[in-house]
Amino acid sequence: MKVLVTGGSGFIGSHVVDKLRDKGFEVRIYDMVLPSIRKDIEFYQGSILDLESLGMAMMGVDAVYHLAAIADVKDVFERPHYAESINVRGTINVLEAARTHQNVKRVVYASTTWVYSDTIETNVDETTPLRPPSHLYTATKLTSEYYCQAYSKLYGMNVTIMRYGIPYGPRARGAAVVPIFVSKALKGEPLTIAGDGLQFRKFVYVEDLAEGNVLALKSIAKNKIYNLDGKEKVSIKQIAETVKKIIGNVKIEYIPARPGDFSGKEVSSELAKKELGWEPKVSFEEGVRRYINWYKKVEQEKEAEWARLDNTLRTQL
Ligand SMILES: NC(=O)c1ccc[n+]([C@@H]2O[C@H](COP(=O)([O-])OP(=O)(O)OC[C@H]3O[C@@H](n4cnc5c(N)ncnc54)[C@H](O)[C@@H]3O)[C@@H](O)[C@H]2O)c1
């Protein structure tokens, strides 16, 4: 089976690519930027705003994973008009290209548990009624979900919507809480916690998320929505303590709470467990350990590269 992954050069997309390859799928990436990890992969460079180029990338493809997006909520806040074009028009382009390629039997869409941010209920699952979102990022992701559902109803396209929890792990962007704490700890800087640090989040290890994406191709998942969230509740204090436990000799500082800090929703992933047989396997501590090992390796490689460049310059001058 041949699969196209839009956004396959990104954080989550690159792990989806790895997992699909492990399971024996033929994979092609469609992204604006080159994959930094894999060189041995079929890669189409282009934007999801380019319908013609997307169509060419879908030639001979059986399923499409659509992950390309402006995924950082801060970027969406700063560039709402641009983010809307990628996250909304980009999605309809992917759906439209898939519609005109009869060989595409499934589109899997990468959504987010942020769609529950404004619900009245605190315990939520895929049947919980959603409310108009307060954030533009969520609005773009929800619009895309609706487009997927409309394409399914109007054109008989098989779509599967996966709502991811907060991912962490190797190749994560630097702006999230785990990467910030790890980078500070390794630089010998204190970890700062606003308030008592007892506010919890659930985090999902990125390879577990990738596994859930592969399972989304199961027949039962046609035209369904699944939450893929972590199992453990982890407080900010626990994150800091886990990082301290692994790295050692780290100071944790407390500052006054910020008003309006998000209080987490309890997102159920029971449906994914029941129908797809998906459960997160990697514990938070193990996931952080793997992230730290990856981070250290990347830092060492960067230092070695600088040293090599320095040497080259010295010999040339
Ligand atoms: N990271 C999270 O916290 C999170 C949580 C829930 C859902 N998601 C969703 O998962 C998906 C992947 O997120 P991520 O964290 O891996 O993001 P990422 O930024 O690491 O990856 C996104 C990829 O999309 C590509 N891209 C952006 N614009 C493009 C365009 N016009 N054409 C082609 N490619 C383009 C980027 O080059 C990048 O490789 C997104 O749809 C995001 O909304 C992310």
> Which of 17, 67, 111, 177 has the most ligand 1 atoms within 8 A of CB, as the residue to mutate?
67
- DSSP assigned state of 129: P
User: Is residue 137 annotated as a catalytic residue, yes or no?
Assistant: yes
Report the nearest atom of ligand 1 relative to the CA of 13. 16
pTM: 0.94
Question: Residues 91, 103: contact at Cβ < 8 Å?
Answer: no
CB distance 13 to ligand 1 below 6 Å = yes
Q: Is residue 151 part of a domain?
A: yes
Residue 313 in domain: no
Extract the tokens encoding 269.
């992933």
* Nearest one of 102, 66, 64 to 87, comparing CA atoms: 66
Q: How far is the CA of 147 from the centre of ligand 1 (A)?
A: 18
CA distance 125 to 165: 12
Per residue of the chain (317 residues), give pLDDT as tens: 999 999 999 999 999 999 999 999 999 999 999 988 767 899 999 999 999 999 999 999 999 999 999 999 999 999 999 999 999 999 999 999 999 987 899 999 999 999 999 999 999 999 999 999 999 999 999 999 999 999 999 999 999 999 999 999 999 988 889 999 999 999 999 999 988 888 888 999 999 999 999 999 999 999 999 999 999 889 999 999 999 999 998 999 998 876 655 557 899 999 999 999 999 999 999 999 999 999 999 988 888 888 888 888 888 77
The count of domains in the chain is 1
Q: Is 288 contained in some domain?
A: no
CA distance 66 to 45: 15
Whether 76 maps to a domain, the answer reads yes
10 lines ligand 1 (CB under 6 A): yes
Domain that holds residue 151: 2-171+203-231+262-281
What's the CATH number where 142 sits?
3.40.50.720
Report whether 26 contacts 3 (CB < 8 A).
yes
**Set 65, 109, 116, 137: catalytic member:** 137
Q: Is residue 191 part of a domain?
A: no
Q: Please give the Cα distance from 165 to 287 (Å, whole number).
A: 15
